[in-house]
């Protein structure tokens, strides 16, 4: 039985027990600082709910759906992702939580992955690279989520995430770069992605936007921080919580995210790939997090002859259809689609360098994206006309009321 203290940087939060080799929190003991508990962990009658804390803990591990997970589970030194989670002390590059062994306490400053080197052994195994000698399991790869093959790497002193594509077209890394191009032109706060090739495969590369003094708290956990009423949609619930947490410009930033996802036909903006940033020291909520993880878009899984069609294309996180979700946008005043003129040429040059995306697929993507821009412009025009009509009605009613008619 291993005894740990759950930590938030150097703040002691709660004492826990994790049986050796099990990877599950089985006991909760002394609570040191309840304010620093992970967001979304539930309390019952004033006590920390064990299942809730354990769910949070297990959600930090590599998911069973991850590409390359078989190589992990078949490795004689690893066997179970739960084992990996404990071996890296739960340390992540997304927040400042970790577990500190009570028998041999450690210091966050000396082990966190933001300021200290980390092993690439687990990432290399996930990528199918043979690893010799004894494995070093201190790695942020042990706590990275998502189903695509990915690994963390220190490049020129920066903590960078390399993420692969899937299927015959290997399109997701290119989609990340295309989304970056769009957001740069439209002035949307985002994490920039670039493209590299390793072993004849394309990978997107982005630097972590979390610092040693911030936590990324995803929309899922924000939503779990208070019970959602049955008659309230997740959109209303989430926006209400952002307002309560005094996160400035939340409405405008979510408008921009929905608009981007409409343009690129994003299929997978789930509640764990957008969120907010919090100061890890003061616990003050700072801002909506910049947009990241936009690769599951632009018909990446569809055959070339189905590009442009919305048959089989899902939508998240607020509606299951893009034409319904775009109606949630409060204002398009920030948006100038003319800034996308000439982008098709940049996309053409990007895709021309891919050995996985042939000419017919490239042309189909360019045509479909152009149609998405025109479709969005039509939606904006209708939105503007509706707004003007509503304002005119309000003015007429005010004039009638004023005149006494």
For the stretch 279-330, pLDDT in tens is 999 999 999 999 999 999 999 999 999 999 877 788 999 999 999 999 999 9
* Pairwise CA distance, residues 10 & 395, whole Å: 58
Domains of the chain: 2-143 (no CATH), 214-390 (1.10.1070.20)
Alpha-carbon gap, residue 182 to 190, rounded angstroms = 10
Distance CA 129, CA 131 (A): 6
pLDDT, mean of residues 380-395 = 64
Q: Give 342's pLDDT tier (boundaries 50, 70, 90).
A: very high
pLDDT at 84 over 90: no
How many CA atoms, within 13 angstroms, populate the side-chain half-sphere of residue 36?
23
Q: Answer yes or no: is pLDDT of 393 > 50.
A: no
Residue 78 has what pLDDT? Answer: 60
pTM of full prediction above 0.85: yes
The more confident residue out of 88 and 132 is 88
Range with the poorest average pLDDT among 37-46, 60-69, 88-97? 60-69
Alpha helices in 1-91 (DSSP H): 50-58, 69-73, 81-87
Using one digit for the tens of pLDDT, what is the confidence trace for 194-229?
Answer: 999 988 899 999 999 999 999 999 999 999 999 999
Confidence band (pLDDT; 50, 70, 90) for 268? very high
- Is the pLDDT reported for residue 398 higher than 50? no
What pLDDT, on the 0 to 100 scale, is given for residue 388?
47
pLDDT at 200: 87
* 171: three-class secondary structure by DSSP: coil
Query: Does residue 340 surpass a pLDDT of 60?
Result: yes
pLDDT of residue 397 exceeding 70, the answer is no
Which pair of tokens denotes residue 237?
């619930």
DSSP conformation letters of 89-102: TT--SS-SEEEEES
Q: Is the peptide bond before 130 cis (omega within 30 degrees of 0)?
A: no
| C-alpha distances out from residue 355 to 129, 224, 313, 359, 360, Å | 22, 43, 25, 10, 13
pLDDT at 135 > cutoff 60: yes
Decide: 136 and 126 in contact? Cβ < 8 Å. Answer: no
C-alpha 40/C-alpha 77 separation (Å) is 33
Residue 118 has pLDDT above 50, yes or no: yes
Is residue 392 over pLDDT 60? Answer: no
The Cα diameter of the chain in Å comes to 89
Mean pLDDT of 71-90: 72
Determine the pLDDT at residue 396.
43
Q: Is the pLDDT of residue 353 over 80?
A: yes
DSSP code, position 142: G
Q: Report pLDDT for 44.
A: 84
Q: Mean pLDDT over residues 353-371, rounded?
A: 96
Q: What is the mean pLDDT of residues 377-381?
A: 95
Cβ neighbours of residue 108 closer than 8 Å, sequence gap 6 or more: 7, 9, 10, 96, 98
Higher pLDDT, 43 or 327: 327
| Residue 357 DSSP code | S
């Amino acid at each position: 039985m291993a005894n740990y203290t759950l930590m938030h940087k150097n703040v002691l939060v709660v004492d826990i027990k994790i049986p050796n080799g099990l990877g599950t929190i089985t006991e909760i003991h002394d609570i040191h600082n309840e304010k620093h508990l992970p967001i979304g962990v539930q309390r019952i009658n004033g006590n920390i709910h064990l299942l809730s804390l354990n769910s949070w803990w297990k959600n930090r591990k590599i998911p069973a759906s991850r590409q390359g997970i078989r190589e992990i589970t078949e490795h004689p030194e690893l066997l179970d992702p739960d084992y990996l989670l404990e071996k890296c002390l739960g340390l992540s590059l997304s927040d400042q939580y970790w577990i500190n062994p009570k028998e041999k306490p450690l210091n966050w400053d000396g082990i966190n992955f933001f300021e200290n080197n980390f092993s690439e052994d687990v990432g290399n195994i996930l990528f199918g690279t043979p690893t010799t000698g004894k494995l070093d399991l201190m790695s942020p790869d042990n706590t990275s989520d998502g189903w695509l093959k990915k690994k963390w790497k220190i490049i020129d002193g920066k903590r960078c995430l390399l993420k692969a594509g899937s299927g015959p077209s290997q399109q997701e890394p290119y989609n990340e770069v295309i989304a970056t191009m769009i957001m740069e032109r439209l002035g949307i706060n985002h994490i920039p992605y670039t493209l590299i090739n390793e072993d004849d495969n394309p990978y997107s590369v982005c630097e972590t936007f979390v610092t040693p003094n911030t936590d990324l708290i995803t929309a899922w956990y924000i939503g779990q921080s208070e019970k959602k009423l049955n008659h309230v949609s997740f959109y209303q619930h989430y926006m209400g919580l952002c307002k309560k947490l005094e996160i400035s410009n939340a409405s405008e930033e979510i408008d921009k995210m929905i608009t981007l996802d409409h343009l690129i036909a994003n299929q997978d903006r789930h509640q764990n790939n957008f969120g907010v940033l919090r100061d890890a020291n003061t616990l003050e909520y700072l801002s909506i997090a910049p947009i990241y993880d936009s690769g599951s878009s632009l018909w990446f899984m569809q055959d070339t002859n189905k590009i442009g069609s919305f048959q089989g294309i899902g939508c998240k996180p607020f509606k299951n259809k893009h034409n319904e979700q775009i109606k949630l946008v409060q204002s398009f005043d920030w948006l100038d689609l003319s800034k996308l003129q000439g982008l098709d040429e940049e996309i053409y040059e990007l895709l021309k360098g891919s050995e996985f995306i042939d000419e017919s697929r490239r042309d189909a993507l360019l045509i479909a994206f152009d149609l998405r821009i025109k479709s969005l412009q039509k939606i904006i025009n209708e939105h503007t006309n509706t707004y003007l009509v509503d304002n005119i009605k309000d003015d007429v009613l005010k004039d009638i009321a004023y005149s006494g008619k």
